[in-house]
Structure 1
C-alpha cells in the first residue's frame, strides 16, 4: 500500500470507489467530488491509499468548521473500499491524517454519528463526545 497526497485530479479509480460508497448509502465521496471540484483549497490535506492501481481508501483534513475556543482540524470524507477493510488501510490512512493535523493543532475531530464503525475510531484513540458539533475527538497529549 502507498499513501499519495492528492493535489490535482482525484485518482483515476475514484469513480469505482465512489460507486461502492454510493451503493452502501454513504454519500461522503459524492460530497468529496463536489467539494474538490468547487474548492480544492478547502482541504488542508487529501490522501489516497493505493494498492497498486486500485484506490483502497481516501480521506482528508479541513479546518474544523465549528471551532469551540481553539483551532482544530476535522477528518473528512473518509471511505475505505469494502474489499480493503480490516486490512489496516483505514488505520494507516487515519494515522497519516492525524500526523498531518497534529503538526499544527492539538485537537482533531470527526463527525461519525452515523458510522457503522465506532470501534474503529475508539481503537485509533478518538473519544466519543456529546454536545459538540462533532461526534469524536482526538486530543494530543
Structure 2
C-alpha cells in the first residue's frame, strides 16, 4: 500500500477520530491519552528531539501514528521514548509499522542514543523484537529498548 509519512506539527489539525475509536475497541486507551494530553498541553511533542508522525493512505485517511518523547521516567541523558504508536487494523502486516518505526528511529538518531518503549501486548513484543529492540528490561516503565548507532552514542562510549 502506498503511504505518505509526515510530521504532525499540530495534532488539532488532524482527524484522529477513527484511529482513537478503533484503538479503544481493541482495548487500548493510549490514543485517547494522546489526544487529551495534546489538548491540555501535557504532551505536544514539542521539546528538543521530540516528534509526532502520521501515515496517510492514498485516500488521505490516517492509518498510523507514532511519536518520540524524551523519556520522562529515565534519569539518564540521551533516552527517548516511543509513544502512542498505533497502526490501524486494516493497514497492518503491510510494512507500514516497520516503515513508521524506522522513520522515528532515524529521526531519533540525531537526538538520542537509546529508545525505550513499554508494551504489554505479545504482538507488539514480537514486532519490536523483529525490528531490533531487546526486551525483558526489568524496568517498570520500559519493556523494550534499542541502542541507536549515531555520533551521540559513539561519543558516549
CA contact (8 A) 2:45 2:67 kept: no
- Other structure's SS at 1:117 match: helix
Pick the structure with greater CA Rg: 2
Counterpart of 2:155 in structure 1 is none
Query: What do you get for the CA RMSD once the two structures are aligned?
Result: 1.6
Q: Which runs of 5+ in 1 are unaligned?
A: none
Deviation at 1:54, TM superposition (A): 1.0
Deviation at 1:15, TM superposition (A): 0.3
Counterpart of 1:38 in structure 2 is 40
- In 2, the alpha carbon distance for the partners of 1:10 and 1:137 equals 31
Query: Does the C-alpha gap of structure 1 residues 41 and 122 become closer, same or farther in structure 2, counting only changes over 3 Å?
Result: closer
- In 2, the alpha carbon distance for the partners of 1:59 and 1:41 equals 11
1:91-110, CA deviations, whole angstroms, 9 ceiling, x for partnerless residues?
A: 11111111111111110000
CA contact (8 A) 1:129 1:137 kept: no
Counterpart of 2:154 in structure 1 is none
- Other structure's SS at 2:123 match: coil
1:34-66, CA deviations, whole angstroms, 9 ceiling, x for partnerless residues?
A: 111122245610000110211110011110111
Counterpart of 2:144 in structure 1 is 136
Q: Which residue, out of 105, 123, 126, partners 1:119?
A: 126
Counterpart of 2:14 in structure 1 is 11
CA contact (8 A) 1:5 1:45 kept: yes
TM-score (norm 1): 0.91
Q: Which residue, out of 6, 22, 25, partners 1:23?
A: 25
Matched pairs, number: 140
- In 2, the alpha carbon distance for the partners of 1:110 and 1:41 equals 16
Counterpart of 2:4 in structure 1 is 2
- In 2, the alpha carbon distance for the partners of 1:36 and 1:123 equals 30
- In 2, the alpha carbon distance for the partners of 1:65 and 1:115 equals 24
Matches within 5 A, 1:57-96: 57-96=64-103
- Other structure's SS at 1:116 match: helix
